[in-house]
Amino acid sequence: MNPKTIITLVIISLLLMSGCSHPRPQVNYLNESEEEKKARMAWWDDAKFGMFIHWGLYAVPAGEYKGEKIEGIGEWIMNSLRIPISEYEEFAPQFNPVKFDADEWVSIAKQAGMNYIIITSKHHDGFCLWDTEYTDWNIMEATPFRRDILKELADACEKEGIKLGFYYSIMDWHHPDAQAIFEPEYNQWRDSENVNPNFPRYVDEFMKPQLKELLTGYGDIGVLWFDGEWIPDYTSEMGRDIYNYLRNIKPDLIINNRVDKGRQGMEGMDAEGDFAGDFGTPEKQIPATGMPGLKWESCLTMNDTWGYKHFDHNWKSSTTLIRNLIDIASKGGNLLLNVGPTAEGIIPEPSVERLKTMGEWLNVNGESVYGVDPSPVDRPDWGRYTVRDNRIFAHVFDWPADGKLSLQDINGIDRAWVLSDPGRSSLTFEDNGAGVSLQLPANAPDTVATVIVLEKN
Ligand code: H79
């Protein structure tokens, strides 16, 4: 070949190679059809029950700093006690959770009957639980632990068939481009109207690449769960852009509504309008009724805090928690139930006990919770209903003294039995057109919730 031909060939191959690296055209996922969304969210809809994990440096003070105990939630201690960034940073060298065992956490979730886990990759304090390239304020570089917590959890989840998702705070009390500019040494949330002029740079050069790391280095991520979207720096336009950016990286990703600005306070559902986000996020509360056509997930704490507080002993009973799950399923939502591990890496024992009890109940009665549709009729005063195929499940919380259960507006039932009864002994009932009157055994087989199966042919 003469030199001219070689040069021409080199130029042609260079052109071809550069063609290969052209980015794919971006798809606008904000225009997705209802059917597409339904298919994408099918696993999440059926899953019903997930574990929320709030874990970070705030587990070190555990709600108490310099002799002062905070009243509010543990992960907000930096803000509540006005701890300057430089002082807060001193928690990092003290964070060495040598008892952390990802397999054990996943097994606790699995035995509780949970189908997915959402963990704080970065909470409001900006501290990152993974090996991120974009800040040293992370587990590998700022702590003696030097283990990628998210990677270990991702591997454990994959082994057990549990879906993993990441919580990510948009508000960041540590990143200089996201700080409240009028008081940089504190950098915290005080209903500010003031915006940081560098915030758009934080979104483009920090948030987006970090989110890409989370979506590409940790296996099959099911959900991104945003929070801290209420700061005035963050706009709806940014939110819609982020939503599309993420779905273009991972088309089947599910993203909560806090990616945009539509959320109405702690009630968690969007205001009227065209907002990005796949599901509403009621926080520390359960909607009063179902909301046909809307997807939502209540996130609840077992005591009063999300991040570990050593003196919060205000635990809900396992009965309350099981009934909360049933209530949520009967209204068409999911339950994301929180644990706040200690700075040693231990899920507190009261949480483990309650999860175990929930798992035992679900082991027997799971068919009446997973994959169900919401109640077809108004909530009865004795409990809740869920539906699956040709079965209605009546969850009885308050067992009638005379053994007679009145099921208003339920008709056309052909068989009834107690779900936990392996022999499926038939219960007798009368159908009077306006409802069913069911004769129950004298005593409740399960005082937490006994499930009666009402089957149609
Ligand atoms: O991560 C946990 C908490 O740290 C976090 N969300 C859960 C999942 C949380 N962030 N804030 N709060 C809890 C309470 C703060 C609420 C307020 Fe607001 C922020 C009051 C005013 C601004 C939210 C947005 C309610 C009204 C506007």
Span from the CA of 229 to the centroid of ligand 1 (angstroms)? 9
Residue ID of nearest Cα to ligand 1 atom 10? 228
Residues of the chain with pLDDT under 70: 1-25, 181-192
Residue ID of nearest Cα to ligand 1 atom 27? 265
The structural domains of the chain, ordered by start, are 29-368 (3.20.20.80), 383-455 (2.60.40.1180)
The 3 state secondary structure assigned to the chain is: CCHHHHHHHHHHHHHHHHHHCCCCCCCCHHHCCHHHHHHHCHHHHHHCEEEEECCCHHHCCCCEECCEECCCCHHHHHHHCCCCHHHHHHHHHHCCCCCCCHHHHHHHHHHCCCCEEEEEEECCCCCECCCCCCCCCECCCCCCCCCCHHHHHHHHHHHHCCEEEEEEECCCCCCCCCCCCCCCCCCCCCCCCCCCCCHHHHHHHHHHHHHHHHHHCCCCEEEEEEECCCCCCCCHHHHHHHHHHHHHHCCCCEEEHHHCCCECHHHCCECCCCCCCCEECCECCCCCCCCCCCCEEEEECCCCCCCCCCCCCCCCCHHHHHHHHHHHHHCCCEEEEEECCCCCCCCCHHHHHHHHHHHHHHHHHHHHCCCCECCCCCCCCCEEEEEECCEEEEEECCCCCCCEEEEECCCCCCEEEECCCCCCCCCCEEECCCEEEEECCCCCCCCCCEEEEEECC
Residue ID of nearest Cα to ligand 1 atom 19? 230
Span from the CA of 230 to the centroid of ligand 1 (angstroms)? 8
Span from the CA of 392 to the centroid of ligand 1 (angstroms)? 37
Atom of ligand 1 nearest to the CA of 54: 1
Span from the CA of 65 to the centroid of ligand 1 (angstroms)? 21
Span from the CA of 157 to the centroid of ligand 1 (angstroms)? 28
Q: Which of 76, 305, 308 to mutate to test the pocket of ligand 1 (most atoms within 8 A of CB)?
A: 76
Span from the CA of 280 to the centroid of ligand 1 (angstroms)? 14
Span from the CA of 387 to the centroid of ligand 1 (angstroms)? 34
Q: What angle do CA 115, 117, 119 make, to 5 degrees?
A: 175
Q: What is the pLDDT of residues 380-391, one digit of tens each?
A: 999 999 999 999
Q: Which of 73, 192, 297, 298 to mutate to test the pocket of ligand 1 (most atoms within 8 A of CB)?
A: 73
The whole-number pLDDT of residue 188 equals 66
Q: Which of 120, 306, 308 to mutate to test the pocket of ligand 1 (most atoms within 8 A of CB)?
A: 306
Ligand 1 site residues (CB inside 6 A) read 73, 75-76, 227, 230, 265-266, 283, 299, 306
Question: Which tokens sit at 323?
Answer: 């009934």
Atom of ligand 1 nearest to the CA of 266: 25
pTM of the model: 0.94
Atom of ligand 1 nearest to the CA of 281: 8
Distance of CA 66 to the CA centre of its chain: 32
Span from the CA of 214 to the centroid of ligand 1 (angstroms)? 23
The whole-number pLDDT of residue 433 equals 87
Span from the CA of 175 to the centroid of ligand 1 (angstroms)? 19
Residue ID of nearest Cα to ligand 1 atom 11? 228
Residue ID of nearest Cα to ligand 1 atom 17? 265
Span from the CA of 228 to the centroid of ligand 1 (angstroms)? 7
The whole-number pLDDT of residue 19 equals 45
